[in-house]
Amino acid sequence: MTNPLLINTDTPFNTPPFTSIKNEHFKPAIESLIETAKSEIQDIIDNNDSPTFENTIEVLERSGKSLDRVSAIFFNLNSAETSDEIQAIAKEVSPMLTEFSNDILLNEALFNKVKIAFENTDQSKLTEEQKTLLNKSYKGFVRNGALLNDEQKQQLRSIDIELSKLSLEFGEHVLAETNKYEMVLESESDLDGLPAFAVEAAAELAKQKGHEGKWVITLDYPSYVPFMTYASNRALRKELSIAFGSKAFKGDELDNQAIVKRIVQLRNNRAQLLGYNTHADFVLEERMAESANKVMDFLSEIERFGRPGAERDVAEVAAYAKKLDGLDSLERWDFAYYSEKLKKEKYAVDDELLKPYFQLEKVIDGVFQTANKLFGLQFIENKEIDVYHEEVTAYEVKDEAGDHVAVFYADFFPRAGKRAGAWMTSYAGQYKDEQGDHRPLVSIVCNSTKPTATTPSLLTFNEVTTLFHEFGHALHGMLANGTYESLTGTSVYWDFVELPSQILENWCYEKECLDLFAKHYETGESIPEDYIEKIKASSNFMEGYQTLRQLSFGMLDMAWHGQDHKSIDSVPEFEQEIMSKTNVLPSIPGTNMSCSFSHIFQGGYSSGYYSYKWAEVLDADAFAYFKANGIFNREIADSFKENILSAGGSEHPMTLYKRFRGQEPDVKPLLERAGLLAEV
């Protein structure tokens, strides 16, 4: 059989031929393309000409493109449409890819070529993008062990292979725990308080899972969050909260405690092998924040404003719960329930009131119109483009002149084979070579509320902002306009990557934007202006609590990675010690954040979770610029596109930001937006 991953299948815009790809194609394709990439590397080494930027650095940048493409297809499917078979293949190919990566980065002959090119290139004759590539290429080798001796290099290889396996295993355990839990409800009284959409969705889930005539609640966010927010049965909220918080923390075969300890130990060993004190020191060398001390200073500064607000928020909810139901002790499983009731009483607004105005299809159209008004983009559904699941929609993206910009995939609903949360990813990045401008293939994946037999998919306002958030990442990928793929799109410093996503959320609170798409799914009536005012007025509701919660995750991340842990006997004791410093609600026995903290133990956020807050400072400051001049101001949008979205990682992010904004970011707009300036 011909392997579709190894031939040109002549698809529209060179998109993956998903329906032709079988699981058995992946491993042989990856094995074959590793050999091809090795040959490309050997050609650089065998070149007898003196190493230069052109014949070494640029050629190295262009190597392995086919392998990168197939790897992207495989690992994206492992996140969005996985199976036992794909997970088994991942366990085989991940170590192979890690070993290949190390073969390059620890190749002494190749590094010598790169070193000569680095030392002998006159950087004054390079563009800023070329300078960045040259320095990043050299530093990439050094940061990955090129200056180590042979014994140390072997140690590094072993660490990296083990880390890749452990990261996969961690994620598989969390997914398995999420998928296996079902709360089967047999009595209609157990549904008291739940809005109609949540009841109907629970009935649909029950039907799918073989519990006809009952209701099922799961740990997937579209099921879990409404139950915790609206269900009046406190005992069931407690049960669900403990189930959610104890994922991979039960002492069984899916327990992640040993994996957490081993990952942390290996990351620290790796950093020290490379000459850094801790994993955080290694990571933050290439971040805007620069050091663990700066991160902790930043988090502590925000905490100074956030803690009084959090304490006020919890006291207000506790008093309300006492008044309403005589509750003497507010627990974590009570907070969302009573804060939602309080929010509705204070602002007369809740998800049940707003959801009819946020039909998924209309929200998608709204985000497309927003991109059109800001950047002149058009999105045209294209059924000729192959997709990996029937629920995925593919679009061709064009600019105002009608020229091709990108392919955009959208995948919105939870499935057993899809990990939780929402994310943006790419199947191919943008770059330029002698054949022209290779445009990107970009995807967003969400877990939004599914349609039911009687209603379309109606989103909570939080799901609306999540969609805008991920679409902001997608714009960063789609509008990339660089020469080198490793510097285009979202290939930027990690604490800069959330700026395009988080800034786009701001449009969701503006009438001028909401009027584009927020229309009642039955009547077509635009969202009433007083609802918009209530959304804005309530946007700071419980912001102190939410701010401290985010800070606690960032501090937990830095605690795991910002110090030398020779041995940690107990994951829960260590976590409790750290989290107690920011806790404003009692902790729940039998639960643990670290064991399902996929961002830092499976995703790429280790020593980087603070970046969400860091990027909020950037996005609040940047949006204040838009707000002062019009949220659809094309001149400012063009500058944002040119200096942020299209520029990627071609220059230092602070240089790019100042070129757009005319100044360094100021924390004041964030504190004002959050209503926290008056707290201290």
User: Which residues does the annotation mark as catalytic?
Assistant: 470
Structural Rg of the chain based on CA atoms: 25
Where does residue 273 rank: exposed (0-12), middle (13-18), buried (19+ CB within 10 A)?
A: middle
Where does residue 300 rank: exposed (0-12), middle (13-18), buried (19+ CB within 10 A)?
A: exposed
Tokens of 526: 């635009």
Sequence-ordered strand ranges (E) for 187-279: 215-217
User: DSSP state, 645?
Assistant: I
CA atoms of 288 and 270, how far apart (whole Å)? 22
Cα first-last separation, the chain: 69
CA 61, 62, 64, 67 dihedral sign is: positive
Residue 443 φ/ψ, nearest 5 degrees = -140, 145
Where does residue 366 rank: exposed (0-12), middle (13-18), buried (19+ CB within 10 A)?
A: buried
Ramachandran sector of residue 679 (left: φ over 0; alpha: ψ -120 to 50; beta: rest): alpha
**Contact, 452 vs 348, CB < 8 A?**
no
Dump the DSSP string for 327-342. -SS--HHHHHHHHHHH
CA atoms of 406 and 428, how far apart (whole Å)? 10
Tokens of 378: 């058009």
Where does residue 186 rank: exposed (0-12), middle (13-18), buried (19+ CB within 10 A)?
A: exposed
Tokens of 432: 């330029």
Angle at 155 between CA 154 and CA 156, to 5 degrees: 90
CA atoms of 645 and 4, how far apart (whole Å)? 33
